[in-house]
Amino acid sequence: MALVIAFEGVPGSGKTTIIQMLAKDLQVRGLRVEIADIDSSGHIPVLHTIARTYPFGHPARIFLYWTLRLQQYDMMQEILNKADIILADRFWSSTLVFDIRAGGVPLECWEWANQHIKRQPDITFLFEVSLGIAQQRKRTEIMNNPDYAQRVEQAYSQLAGSLSWTRVDATRELVEVRNNCMKIILSRL
């Protein structure tokens, strides 16, 4: 069964770049690597496009993103025995950060949907970077809303502490971040 690794953090923290680097490095080592994100598989891109047509904070947008995350989880379950490692660009926990703790959706909604999630990642990296740096790296609706972005950043920090996530200083050079993550991943194989 595959080792599942989730990468969390605000937009612009470097998750996607490092995931791509790690995937190549792990494949060179002969490992079967799959990347699970909400942008690339099945009909997920179509739903993602629809979700973005709704204004930020709209219930339809929130629930479409929840659907995307749940589909990402289901896709991961389908490939668990076909890969050695699954690298997840965010995981279901993102909904807890973005919508519950930062967005004010009632926790009971998340708890109800969370019953579907039977397996948590084996490793979760939280890429930490200041909001200023993240905003310089990537412009998104989240980063253009400073109050919300700050709530997301705080929620990530709190969740990382309570769930014992591995914190990564994502302000470091990409090679150093990749090497630090690789060392932890290889120790778990």
The stretch 172-189 carries a mean pLDDT of: 96
Beta-sheet strand order (sheet of 123-128):
33-36, 85-89, 3-8, 123-128, 166-169
Name the residue ranges covered by the structural domains of the chain: 3-188
CATH of 3-188 given 1.10.1040.10, 3.10.105.10, 3.40.50.300, 3.30.200.20: 3.40.50.300
The stretch 95-107 carries a mean pLDDT of: 90
pLDDT at residue 42 in the model: 65
pLDDT at residue 41 in the model: 63
Q: Rounded to an integer, what distance in angstroms lies between the CA atom of residue 134 and that of residue 180?
A: 20
Is the overall model pTM greater than 0.85, yes or no?
yes
65: its two tokens: 């993103």
At 111-124, the pLDDT tens digits run 999 999 999 999 99
Residue 136 reports pLDDT greater than 90: no
